[in-house]
């Protein structure tokens, strides 16, 4: 079985953008606008954090999938390409997290 990637997820979300809201949950979220997508992202992130604190691996796996999905939908809703986020992650990993945080304090 092929590994499903974030790029695959972004392509799936892209394919549903602009479709009638009654055709898919993704189309409905996008039609409802960035605020609705961001609200759902926040809700799922809280649920993932709770599952992590409780040590519930199965629930955390499920909630993490929800977080990633809702993040991709939110990015699409505000027209931020996943590639831009990945480029930012690449930039940040070029130095240690501690050095990156220290550099932000001096600017």
pLDDT band at 60 (very low <50, low <70, confident <90, very high): very high
Rg of the chain over CA atoms, in angstroms? 16
79: left (phi over 0), alpha (psi -120 to 50) or beta: left
For the segment 45-70, the average pLDDT, to the nearest whole number, is 98
Question: Count of domains in the chain?
Answer: 1
pLDDT band at 107 (very low <50, low <70, confident <90, very high): low
Q: Tell me, yes or no, whether 76 lies in a domain.
A: yes
Scanning the chain, the segments in alpha helix (DSSP H) are 6-16, 25-32, 34-54, 57-77, 82-92, 97-105
Give pLDDT, residue 100. Answer: 67
12 alpha-carbon distance from chain centroid: 13
Q: Tell me, yes or no, whether 21 lies in a domain.
A: yes
Q: Tell me, yes or no, whether 25 lies in a domain.
A: yes
For the segment 2-29, the average pLDDT, to the nearest whole number, is 96
Q: Tell me, yes or no, whether 58 lies in a domain.
A: yes
Give pLDDT, residue 103. Answer: 75
CATH code for the domain in which residue 39 is found: 1.10.287.1080
Domain coverage including residue 12: 6-80
Kindly tell me if the per-residue pLDDT of 85 is higher than 90.
yes
Give pLDDT, residue 92. Answer: 87
Centre a 10 Å sphere on the Cβ of residue 9 and count the other Cβ atoms it contains.
17
Which residue in 14, 84, 75, 70 sits closest to 42, CA to CA? Answer: 70
pLDDT band at 1 (very low <50, low <70, confident <90, very high): confident
Report the predicted TM-score, pTM, of the whole model to 2 decimal places: 0.86
């Amino acid at each position: 079985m092929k590994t499903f990637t974030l790029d695959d997820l972004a392509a799936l979300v892209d394919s549903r953008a602009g479709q009638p809201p009654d055709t898919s949950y993704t189309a409905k979220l996008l039609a409802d606008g960035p605020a609705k997508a961001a609200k759902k992202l926040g809700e799922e992130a809280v649920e993932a954090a709770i599952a992590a604190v409780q040590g519930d691996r199965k629930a955390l796996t499920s909630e993490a999938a929800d977080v990633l999905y809702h993040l991709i939908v939110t990015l699409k809703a505000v027209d931020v390409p996943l590639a831009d986020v990945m480029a930012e992650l690449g930039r940040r990993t070029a130095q240690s997290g501690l050095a990156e945080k220290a550099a932000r304090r001096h600017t």
